[in-house]
Amino acid sequence: MQIGTTVNQFLIEEQRRLGGTDNDLPALVNDVVVACKSLSHAISQGALAGMLGSAGVENVQGETQKKLDIISNDIMIAATERGGYLGAMASEEMDEIYPIPAQYPKGKYLLLFDPLDGSSNIDVNISVGTIFSILRCPAGVTNPTAKDFMQPGTQQVCAGYALYGPSTLLVLTTGHGVNCFTLDKSIGEFVLTQANLRVPVDTREFAINSSNSRFWEKPVKRYIDECLAGKDGPRKENFNMRWVASMVAEVHRILNRGGIFMYPRDTKDPTKAGRLRLMYEANPMSFIIEQAGGVCSTGRERIMGVQPTELHQRIAVILGSKNEVDRVVAYHTEG
């Protein structure tokens, strides 16, 4: 019987191929993978296990937490806090960083995650995901604080997401390309199903929440209006639109067939630089998209080049097929 390449085998073989000797990173990713397998089961139970609905409390973002937001956060912590690979972790669902408890060994990595992205979809059975990013603890730091997490996206050593859809997928990069694994429930392992994913440089499909159009800045409005004008407009092409309201699902679609995803800065709340969070949404997704040949920008600068100042800071996100993102950036430059 042929068993595919598991995530752990893939990472160990990648280390061997690259001459790496760090077995902690594959082991840490394996702990994250265990959390994603557990989450996949919990999410698939839905109402049967009383998993749906609101938890009746708000998170640091001021958003009402779903029961599964809290459960998924707890699962990720429980799966990763004991391994000895982390100095601390940070989550969309926790105000402050989570230092590794004294009873467990500490390690050289920092883990950041959005444990349940797209959770507003969970009660209506639409795909959701988990996004994670791994940074190194700064040299000599044994008790990391929030300031040790303030590293630009270019410092990530690994990023990935799990997509809980018709099948459960894990997409991963360690800086050497992007690979996709599918959960084979008959053996309880994610096995390699797509190697070296590449984002097509061109697309005729955009993803944006158009209900915000009255708040958009001029360059974004110009780009979308041109797409909507179709063959009779300046683009001389018809465009399609998608909006799932789960970033993980949008990014996965773009990885597979191209596209441009936009959650730009807008005037809806001038105090916010955007809706999405830099550290555990924009940066890991940017690492993945860039590793697959795509482009990720705020419209004015490369997302992974942004120096973070706060753990939960928000940022504008325009990512996907190179030629379309470049066009939107050019429109921002033109003003």
Query: Which residues of the shown chain bind ligand AFP in the complex (CB under 6 A)?
Result: 63, 117-120, 209, 245-247, 275-276
What are the backbone dihedrals phi and psi of residue 137, each rounded to the nearest 5 degrees, phi first? -65, 135
Quick one: 37 or 275, whose CB is closer to ligand AFP? 275
Quick one: 176 or 257, whose CB is closer to ligand AFP? 257
Q: How far is CA 18 from CA 178, 204, 287, in A?
A: 15, 37, 19
Cβ atoms of residues 104 and 81 within 8 Å:
yes
Quick one: 120 or 143, whose CB is closer to ligand AFP? 120
Task: Provide the 8-state DSSP code for 100.
Answer: P
Q: How far is the CB of 268 from ligand AFP (least distance, A)?
A: 9
| E strands in the chain | 54-58, 64-66, 86-91, 98-99, 109-117, 128-136, 158-164, 168-173, 179-184, 189-194, 205-208, 240-241, 260-263, 276-277, 295-297, 314-315, 317-320
Quick one: 151 or 246, whose CB is closer to ligand AFP? 246
Letter for the amino acid at 329? V
Cβ atoms of residues 91 and 112 within 8 Å:
yes
Q: How far is the CB of 27 from ligand AFP (least distance, A)?
A: 29
Q: How far is the CB of 82 from ligand AFP (least distance, A)?
A: 27
Q: How far is the CB of 129 from ligand AFP (least distance, A)?
A: 8
Q: How far is the CB of 53 from ligand AFP (least distance, A)?
A: 14
- Which residue in the block uniquely carries the two structure tokens 């949008």? 250
Q: How far is the CB of 319 from ligand AFP (least distance, A)?
A: 11
Q: How far is CA 328 from CA 119, 260, 317, 323, in A?
A: 29, 10, 11, 9
Quick one: 145 or 210, whose CB is closer to ligand AFP? 210
Quick one: 239 or 261, whose CB is closer to ligand AFP? 261
Q: How far is the CB of 311 from ligand AFP (least distance, A)?
A: 16
Quick one: 186 or 271, whose CB is closer to ligand AFP? 271
Tokens of 66: 């779903």
